[in-house]
Amino acid sequence: MKNLLKFKSSNIMLVAVLALIILVSGCAAGGEKDKQNVSGEESYKIGAVIDISGNSSSLGVPERDTLQMLVENLNAGGGINGHPVELTILDNKSDETEAVLAAKTLIEQDVLAVLGCASSGPSMAMINTLQKEKVPMISMAAASSIVEPVEERHWVFKTAQSDIVTVSNIISYLKENGLTKVAFLYMNNAYGDGGKKAFLTAARENNVEVVVEEKFEASDKDMTAQLTRVKSSPAQATVVWAIPPSASILTKNYRDLGIAALLIHSHGVGNQKFIDLAQGAADGVILPIGKLTVVEQIPDDDPQKKVLQSYIDDYTKKYNMLPDSFGGYAWDAFHLVVKAIEKAGPDRGAIRDELENTREFVGVSGVFNMSPRDHNGLDKESMVMVRIENGKWKLLD
Amino acid sequence: MWGKNKKYFWLAAALGFLAIPLIVKSNYIISTLIVIGLYAILVQGLGILMGYAGQVSFGHAAFFGLGAYAVAILTTHYSWPTIPALGAAVLLPGMVAAVIGRPTLKLQELYLALATLGFGILVHIAFTEGGEMTGGPSGLSGIPYLSVGGLVFDSDVKFFYLVWILLFLLLAGMNNLVRSRVGRALRAISESEYAAENAGIDTVGLKLQSFVFSALLAGLAGGLYAFYITFISPSPFSFHASVQFVLMAVVGGLGTLTGPLLGAALVVALGEVLRWAVPLVIPGAGGEYQIIFFGLILVILMVLQPGGLGALGKLLGTPAKRLPGKGADTRLLESQGG
Query: Tell me: the pLDDT tens digits for A274-332?
Result: 999 999 999 999 999 999 989 999 999 999 999 999 999 999 999 999 998 899 999 99
Whether B63 maps to a domain, the answer reads yes
Residues in chain A: 397
Structural domains in chain B (count): 1
C-alpha distances in Å from residue B178, one per residue of A2, A240, B321: 32, 56, 9
The per-residue pLDDT for range A202-216, each reduced to its tens digit, is 999 999 999 999 999
Please compute the mean of the pLDDT values over residues B211-226 and round it to a whole number. 96
Interatomic CA distance for residues A132 and A214, integer angstroms: 40
Instruction: Tell me: pLDDT of A393 over 70.
Output: yes
Looking at residue B26, its pLDDT comes to 83
Which of B76, B229, B243, B270 is the best mutation test for A, with the most CBs of A within 10 A?
B229
Domains and CATH numbers, chain A: 44-161+299-379 (3.40.50.2300), 164-289 (3.40.50.2300)
The lowest-confidence range among A223-227, B216-220, B262-266, B313-317 is B313-317
Whether B255 maps to a domain, the answer reads no
Residue B90: exposed, middle, or buried by beta-carbon count in 10 A (0-12, 13-18, 19+)? buried
Which of the 8 DSSP states describes residue A49? E
Q: What residue ranges in A159-208 does DSSP mark as E strands? A: 181-187
* Shortest CA gap A317–chain B (Å): 18
Q: At what angle do helices B259-281 and B287-304 cross, to 10 degrees?
A: 130
Reduced to 3 states, what is the DSSP secondary structure of residue B228?
Answer: helix
Please compute the mean of the pLDDT values over residues B74-84 and round it to a whole number. 95
- Closest residue to A128, CB basis, from B128, B231, B269: B231
Which of the 8 DSSP states describes residue B50? I
Whether B277 maps to a domain, the answer reads no
Please compute the mean of the pLDDT values over residues A82-106 and round it to a whole number. 89
61-90 of A, contacting B, C-beta below 8 A: 61, 64, 68, 90
- Please indicate whether, in this complex, the C-beta atoms of B32 and A190 are within 8 angstroms of each other: no
Q: Average pLDDT, whole number, for chain A?
A: 88
* pTM of the predicted structure, to 2 decimals: 0.79
Interatomic CA distance for residues B319 and B313, integer angstroms: 6
Single-letter amino acid, residue A339: K
Looking at residue A305, its pLDDT comes to 94
Whether B64 maps to a domain, the answer reads yes
Looking at residue B309, its pLDDT comes to 73
> In this structure, how many other beta carbons lie within 10 angstroms of the beta carbon of residue A1?
5
Contact B168, B14 (CB under 8 A): yes
Looking at residue A4, its pLDDT comes to 40
Burial letters A235-251, b for 16+ CB under 10 A, else e: bbbbbbbbbbbbbbbbb
Query: Cα dihedral angle (B2, B7, B10, B11), rounded to 10 degrees?
Result: -140
The per-residue pLDDT for range B120-178, each reduced to its tens digit, is 999 999 999 888 899 888 888 889 999 988 899 988 899 999 999 999 999 999 988 88
Burial letters A35-66, b for 16+ CB under 10 A, else e: eeeeeeeebbbbbbbbbbbbbbbebbbbbbbb
The per-residue pLDDT for range A53-77, each reduced to its tens digit, is 777 887 898 999 999 999 999 999 9
Looking at residue B102, its pLDDT comes to 85
Instruction: Tell me: pLDDT of B320 over 80.
Output: no
Whether B33 maps to a domain, the answer reads yes
Complex ipTM over 0.90 = no
Looking at residue B147, its pLDDT comes to 92
Over pLDDT 70: what percentage of chain B?
87
Interatomic CA distance for residues A250 and A226, integer angstroms: 9
What's the gap between Cα B102 and its chain centre? 22
Quick check: B288 contacting A, CB < 8 Å? yes
The per-residue pLDDT for range B24-33, each reduced to its tens digit, is 888 888 989 9
Whether B87 maps to a domain, the answer reads yes
Q: Which residue has the higher pLDDT, B69 or B334?
A: B69
The per-residue pLDDT for range A23-42, each reduced to its tens digit, is 444 444 433 333 433 444 47
Which of A4, A124, A134, A144 is the best mutation test for B, with the most CBs of B within 10 A?
A124
Quick check: B296 contacting A, CB < 8 Å? no
Looking at residue A208, its pLDDT comes to 95
What's the gap between Cα B186 and its chain centre? 18
Interatomic CA distance for residues B31 and B21, integer angstroms: 11
> In this structure, how many other beta carbons lie within 10 angstroms of the beta carbon of residue B32?
21
Containing domain of residue B196, as a range?
Answer: 16-237
- Please indicate whether, in this complex, the C-beta atoms of B286 and A152 are within 8 angstroms of each other: no
> In this structure, how many other beta carbons lie within 10 angstroms of the beta carbon of residue B250?
21
Looking at residue B3, its pLDDT comes to 63
Which residue is closest to A8 within chain B, CA to CA? B315
Looking at residue B316, its pLDDT comes to 44
96-125 of B, contacting A, C-beta below 8 A: none
* Shortest CA gap A190–chain B (Å): 5
The set of residues, in sequence order, having a beta carbon less than 8 Å from that of B104 and lying 6+ positions away, is: B112, B115, B116, B119, B211
Whether B10 maps to a domain, the answer reads no
* Shortest CA gap B201–chain A (Å): 35
Looking at residue A95, its pLDDT comes to 86
Whether B7 maps to a domain, the answer reads no
The lowest-confidence range among A375-384, B176-185, B209-218 is B176-185
Which residues of chain A does B290 touch, with a Cβ-Cβ cutoff of 8 Å? 53, 91, 93
Classify strands B147-148 and B151-152 as parallel, antiparallel or unpaired: antiparallel
Which residues of chain B does A125 touch, with a Cβ-Cβ cutoff of 8 Å? 229, 231, 233
Interatomic CA distance for residues B104 and B49, integer angstroms: 14
